[in-house]
Amino acid sequence: MEASRLIESDPSVIGAKAEISIQTGLYKGEYPSRLENVDGSVWKMGHPFLGGGLLPLYRGVEVVLSVKSDGSVYRATGSVLGTVREGEVVMLVLQILGEVEKIQRRQFLRVSCLLDGKVAPLGEPPRIGGEGWLDGSITDISLGGARLSIPGRQGPALDGVSRAILRVKVDKERFFIPCKVAMARFVDETENTDLGLAFEILPGLIEKALGRFVRHQELASRSDRR
């Protein structure tokens, strides 16, 4: 859709959480933000921070935007126009380039499964098969992420952990996948800690093997429902 029609289509985007992604250069990465204002094809977003200061973003730099409203996710490309301050809020002003893409919150088919999995916080490299790994069972998986169920309360081991590496065996191949920790909660009914993991990147070999596994699980599930 045209950027100017976003508010008409979904008024809930104002104030919605967003992510600003820089694809290249010294500050390459993803930064949290909020969509504060939409005026046609010009968007104002909460200026992302780096350390204790504002992330350096200069006029003409192109970024990829992802805005998460109540019902949908919107993705667009923007070009930095500058920075403005409104009251106590510093905002990044962006010119939207091209159209805004509306995508489903769940982009990948997720299937139930039961796979052995191990997870370790990213940072200090864990010893393969040794200290630093938490053993669990993967109860559902997709090309976008997985849910790992770990016995017991794992709050202390996971406190402050935002990124982790998942070790999983698919089709007799062992893979290591970097992830963002989207959720961690203790489930009273099972007395397990459930982790929601979002894959940061899937190399072609892993994507191919995991894709085959997901399709196999989906076909098996359909057969069981007949």
Residue 144 phi, psi (nearest 5): -105, -20
Q: pLDDT, tens digit, for every residue of 38-85?
A: 888 999 999 988 877 888 888 999 998 988 876 678 888 999 999 998
Q: pLDDT, tens digit, for every residue of 9-30?
A: 778 788 888 889 888 888 888 8
Q: Domain coordinates of the chain in residue numbers? A: 3-103, 111-225
> What topology does CATH give the domain 3-103?
Thrombin, subunit H (2.40.10)
Count of residues in the chain: 226
> Could you tell me the CA-to-CA distances from 203 to 108, 122, 170, 177, 199 in Å, in that order?
16, 18, 14, 9, 11
Note whether 37 and 15 are within 8 A (CB). Answer: no
Q: pLDDT, tens digit, for every residue of 123-149?
A: 655 444 456 789 999 999 998 899 999
Domain pair 3-103 / 111-225, same fold: yes
pTM for the structure as a whole: 0.51
The CATH superfamily assigned to 111-225 is predicted glycosyltransferase like domains (2.40.10.220)
Residues 6+ apart with CB under 8 A from 186: 153, 154, 155, 192, 193, 194
